[in-house]
Structure 1
């Protein structure tokens, strides 16, 4: 078997077309600087077809699943996106393990049959490709059975098996998927330690962040909706979800310090929409903003925060927004978790409302310029190139180790 890497195949959780900021997308672009890359969208399942069939996106996905269109499209130099020509069974609700395993294997075969067809179209041999699986634990279980790549890597960036959707089947399937891989990569020490229980090669490769547009010293115009809010402004920028953010903490903080103005920027899911935060006079929801607008909002916020809820889903999470805050030179307060300790001493870590009040009071003090520059340098060092180099080092070691 040749040990020359021909291409990378990145099995993703999110569709490329959605254009969401995701580690898989960033790594695909980084890998494409070295080798050809195929980014593989998740296969559509029967339940999703029923829900989306009346939408333009749903109609397009169904056509591609039936092979009626271009399933593999070149989107950039050295980078293709493949949408699987298969429809998966919707089986997560099944409690019968034997039936679930049978249908999951059928789903995996359909997925990898489509992938092999796409590889042949690009004249790639599976045995010369490296598969990088972005936590697609159910499909990934069959990577070596149905695709037989040169190497198979499994990537963990969230503690997914604590999420209700994944918990029942994922808690038994993910460890097996991890065991079958050649190496495991994670974006935090906590997740790498978890994977190491099931695989001896488990490495924390850190996290990349696109910090180029977050320039602390560039001239910015204060956004009109933010200019109406008095100082001090304590802000959060990102998706507002009750699964990951501590709504109760925010409510208590706003009520305890009515002289502070809590600014929340980003789309809201239902838990935030229904929260008491909307009734508090010193809490401001500014809604979704375009990515290019965010640096200006951060610049005119006095203290940036990440009021993370501590649970099994979030405890190992690496919040990318911390790098964005620090790159903007902002005083930053965050909930203390194992993953956050890597940012010390550049952030103030806190637990509970009293801890947050003390941390924010400290962060509101005048910044030391040397400390600010050190924080900016810390954020700017977290690049996708650095993450990829750690992956390549493990890859080379595996390829040059005699069987």
Structure 2
């Protein structure tokens, strides 16, 4: 039976309209060409739904956007407190079954692929158990069970749900070799390696990106920039050393600052440092212009287990700019060690700051861009479908 439809469950907390960051599930949905596509918005919760004016609905609402049918769950403006949470969830899932049959027909299971991720294990589990699909792909995007701050009882529940997803999946993929090996070792189940992708055209140089941004004009040059969440996988001690380095004019850290994930003493030192600037989070559409304003792009990830397991989208976006990149020695970065600058410790990383601009050339930029072109979302989507067809 030919697959005609793909249902994608979005990652919490990024519904289709979110402009905070890019994520794998939305990007892959756009790249699945030639199928009827349903994108299922993750539930965002009462507070955010109220702030963003979701409105009261008792059934799923679907609207077409860019050739994708985007579906938003009902009852989002109903709080989960006062015992309403289970009732709300039960209603949403019951109507979810109705939605899929209404949009795809009574025999949808024979010709529909469900594409779920580890980014929101419980919502993926609920979707799989509710729909009982014939064909299911599970894409492991992070070591989600290894994230800090998860309580033991919650972790046990998530592990059980994750096991159900693994057992039900037709195909399991993971974005890093670390995750492939970890999952195969712990669950004795085959996993395919499928790295992340990038929208190359969005980050490729354009003439308008040469226009100086007013918010950066008063910063001392050269600009060393990072764009992304400042959270538990960032090496904050390294950031302070980068700011202290004589080569650095200004260290510009663009993105949401998750203060609870940053040691208080380091955060206070960073906020007081004269060479560190925090412009805050920016709409995703503005990120390419920002990146092209920086002299050197930084990926200062630490070596915590959940960081080592990652395959940062930011690295791919950086490469598409053709700008010099300095990264810590994540396994995902070491793959590109002959193209980008990778430091295995703080001293080595700092020495590369001096070399990054001096040794950069048009030839190296062209090589970096060409490599990113081979890592497009379209190519990733085609590889995923190919792996699926070989497996079923």
- The TM-score with structure 2 as length reference comes to 0.84
Question: 2:152 matched to 1:157?
Answer: no
In 1, the alpha carbon distance for the partners of 2:248 and 2:28 equals 43
Q: Quick check: 2:80–2:88 contact (8 Å CA) kept in 1?
A: no
Q: Quick check: 1:109–1:146 contact (8 Å CA) kept in 2?
A: no
Corresponding position of 2:163: 175
Corresponding position of 1:127: 109
Corresponding position of 2:122: 138
SS of the residue corresponding to residue 16 of structure 1 reads coil
In 1, the alpha carbon distance for the partners of 2:7 and 2:215 equals 44
Question: 2:320 matched to 1:331?
Answer: no
In 2, the alpha carbon distance for the partners of 1:234 and 1:191 equals 30
Corresponding position of 2:243: 254
SS of the residue corresponding to residue 122 of structure 1 reads helix
In 1, the alpha carbon distance for the partners of 2:158 and 2:318 equals 33
In 2, the alpha carbon distance for the partners of 1:16 and 1:236 equals 25
In 2, the alpha carbon distance for the partners of 1:300 and 1:141 equals 42
**Which sits farther off after the overlay, 145-154 or 374-383?**
145-154
Residue 71 of structure 1: how far off its partner (Å): 2.1
In 2, the alpha carbon distance for the partners of 1:380 and 1:24 equals 19
Corresponding position of 1:210: 199
Q: Quick check: 2:339–2:364 contact (8 Å CA) kept in 1?
A: yes
Distance 1:107 1:352, change over 3 A: farther
**Which sits farther off after the overlay, 386-395 or 365-374?**
365-374
Residue 172 of structure 1: how far off its partner (Å): 3.8
Residue 131 of structure 1: how far off its partner (Å): 0.7
**Paired residue for 1:224, among 208, 214, 220?**
214
Residue 154 of structure 1: how far off its partner (Å): 0.7
Question: 2:183 matched to 1:195?
Answer: yes
User: How many residues get paired?
Assistant: 372
**Which sits farther off after the overlay, 168-177 or 384-393?**
168-177
User: 1:299-314 alignment to 2 at 5 Å?
Assistant: 299-314=292-307
In 2, the alpha carbon distance for the partners of 1:259 and 1:22 equals 30
Unaligned residue ranges in structure 2 (runs of 5+): none
Between 1 and 2, higher relative CO (CA 8 Å, sep ≥ 6) is seen in 2
Residue 384 of structure 1: how far off its partner (Å): 1.0
Question: 2:318 matched to 1:321?
Answer: no
- The TM-score with structure 1 as length reference comes to 0.82
Distance 1:375 1:86, change over 3 A: same
